[in-house]
Chain A
Amino acid sequence: MQPFDYVVPQDFREASVLLASGEGHALALMGGTDLLVRIRAGLVRPELVVDLKKLPGMQVIRQDADGGLSIGAACTMNQVANDGLVRERYDLLVQACNSVASYQLRNRATVGGNCCNGSPAADTAPALYCLGAVAEIFGPGGRRRVPIEGFFAGPGRTALAPGEFLTAILLPPFSSGARGAFKKLGRTRAGDISIVSVALCAFEETGDGRRKAVAPRGWRIGLGAVGPTPMRATRAEDSLALDQSPAGVAEAAELAAQAAQPIDDVRASATYRTAMVRVLTRRGIEAVLQSLEGSA
Chain B
Amino acid sequence: MNHDISLVVNGEPYRLSVPSHRTLLQVLREQLVLTGTKNGCEAGECGACTVLMNGEPVNSCMVLAPEADGADLVTIEGLVQDSQLDPLQEAFLASGATQCGYCTPGILINARALLDRNPSPTEMQVREALVGNLCRCTGYLRIFDAVQMAARSGVEAEA
Contacts and interface: CB of A to CB of B under 8 A. Distances in A.
B56 A102 contact: no
Contact of B131 (A2, A5, A31, A190): A190
- What is the predominant secondary structure among interface residues of chain B facing chain A? mixed
A155 interface: no
B110 A1 contact: no
B138 interface: no
Given A6-B66, A32-B62, A33-B62, A102 B131 contact: yes
B21 A105 contact: no
Contacts of B21: 1-4, 6
A1 B58 contact: no
B145 interface: no
Chain A interface size, as a band, is 20 to 34
Interface string B47-66: 10010010011110111101
B64 A108 contact: no
B38 to A, nearest CB: 14
Interface string A88-118: 0000000000000111110110000000000
Interface in B37-53: 42-44, 47, 50, 53
Given A37-B43, A40-B43, A3 B19 contact: yes
24 contacts: A1-B23, A3-B19, A3-B20, A32-B62, A32-B67, A36-B44, A36-B62, A37-B43, A40-B42, A51-B67, A78-B56, A101-B44, A101-B131, A102-B133, A103-B110, A103-B128, A103-B129, A104-B47, A104-B57, A105-B44, A108-B58, A108-B62, A190-B128, A191-B131
